[in-house]
Structure 1
Amino acid sequence: MPNQDPKKSISNLSENDESLIDSNARRYRESKIIADEIMKLDEINKITKNTLILIDLQGLYLSSIKWLNDNDFPIHDGRIPSRFALYLILDVISKIKNDMLSLSGKGAIDYQDLIKKIANREGDNINVSGAVMTNNFAIELFYAPSPLKDLKWELQKNKSSRNSEVSRQFADVSKGKVRFKSMDRDYRVYADFISKLKREPLVVRSEEGFFNFQVDQNGIKFFDEKEVDIRIAIRAMEQCIDKKYDNVCIVSSDQDFFPLHARLKQTGIKTYHADAAKFSNHRNIGRKIKGMGANHITVDMDRAWPLRVITELVEPALYNVSKDELGALCRIFNSLDNNFEIHMFDNDDGTAGFSLYKPLRH
């Protein structure tokens, strides 16, 4: 559990900070009005692309948890892991958007980028000779709810066998972990992780599979996620009929989706595949996935993301955070060879402050 009252973990926004946020919001609204006027011009080539992102969530969760555990991050709930997972998903979206723009001819610009350029006072230098593309993305999540409660009950019934392995597995499951044979998974915050991602505006739908497992007097015999892949496949195939989306991207480590990719392409739907779970080890991405060329989206962990999490903590939905989490985010950021370092300190009123500096390099 967090080691401090979360409300005292981060400094309150100053009046200047609140004024800056209001100013940025106002500038965005004004810039959007200008962008919309540009879009009304007859000479502007307007393109709209709709993309559906279908995500096998378990792999993304487990890889995010492992990366945080490897970096000694104190995981209290699903908030911080879900932020890193979201950034990986947004990286996929950004790369799809860039590919769409590259296929739309010279000078093509994304509608949201057009607004940003206007907001940054670059209006006089905007090239609108090419197409202006509006990219709409919808995310759907596929997962099997954690069966820890049922698994614990089955192990409890077999503890009378006096098998030490059963007792060990029962203790692990009681702590939210599943460990047997070569499997070592941490499901402590899986439900909260899923709940946090479902709240994201781009997430429009989710579907549940289930975990199939068996326990006997020797402990867990097998433990496997079921129905998730087939639900993704059915959802993708529905697009061959509905024609609602121009593009479909599958986010999964599974290479069995390639007949699905082929079928979608036959109906004129462009497909992508991203093994986001392998963000820290691209060498383990499957051969078939790598063989998709430009349709394979490679996902990377950005060195700035720990700082991005910290800066987002001023948002009300993310305000509840402990000092040990903040300190760990600072430490991880500093370990990623960024151009500057961030350090946390305690204010007299019990809140946390931050200092940035550029270290001397020898």
Structure 2
Amino acid sequence: MEILERLFNVALIVATLRTTAPILLVALGGSFTTRAGIFNIGLEGQMLLGAFFAVIGTIFSGSPWIGLLCGVAAALALAFIFALLVVTFRANEVVVGLALNILAGGMTVSLLKAIFGTRGSIFGHGLVGLPVVRIPFAKEMGWFGQLISGYTPLVYVAFFAVPLFILFYNRTKLGLYIRVVGEKPEAAEALGISIAKIRYTASLLCGVLAGLAGAHLSLGYTTMFTENMSSGRGFMAVAILIFSAGDPKRILAGCLLFGFSDALSLRLQTFGVSSYLVLAVPYLVALVALFALSYRARPRIIQETLASMGRALQVKPQSAVEPPALAREP
């Protein structure tokens, strides 16, 4: 009982909110491309590049806010390349996404070696993290005050963005255009909506959120940069987008699930659990969630398949059995 109290307490919830924020930011960014009909597997690379250039910008300027802008700009550039190859040149979006992920990983390692003469990680060098927001009178609110105070600004941005995204997709012109382009591109083209323009816009908006997520990792979640710092969070966001179909409420639920598993795995290390098992917890949760989703969707898929086969069988016998009309002799 004492172990459970030490494991499941307010500190675990606080850690869950912190670990959820970067996944939530990048997943919300990915909702733009998902709803626009683009399968964006390049979120990992955009996030990693944003984390690296946020650190570079902060070290050379001395300001975490300038570093934040540098991280967003880097992720935005990678998002533009993705949109150029996928939308304009109609390249395979999975191949392009994986290639850009590899490019981002190799670029960060090479630049880390070229600029700082080291590999692995970079910290110090005047690196300053994002400030922590302290809400007045939070200490007087007990455990609730611990839940709402003491985070970096991007944590609040991530959670407050969820209702804003709901309004965006349901109430704004651009949000409706993105949904139409993703769901009914033929109807969008008939209405005079530029599919390429909307998909470029969605990809660039995705880059902005992915850059914020990366900057949060290197300047908010920690104050350093390490190789492969995104650690699969971009792929987790892709998994969340698959079963949420870009819906902000489902994205929030999925990100909280993965954030909780990540925070729980970190706390399990203090109880002597093997680090290899601990690091596998978030990915096991991802596999279980995707399996549950596919299992629930299986009856619907089978039903649709049988219905389409039934329609085909209703047409084929008529054309195959019915004899051609013979001309009657006068």
Structure with the larger RCO, 1 or 2 (CA within 8 Å, 6+ apart): 2
TM-score range, shorter chain: under 0.3
Higher normalized strand content (fraction of residues): 1
Which TM-score applies when normalising by structure 1?
A: 0.25
Determine which structure has the larger helix proportion and give its number: 2
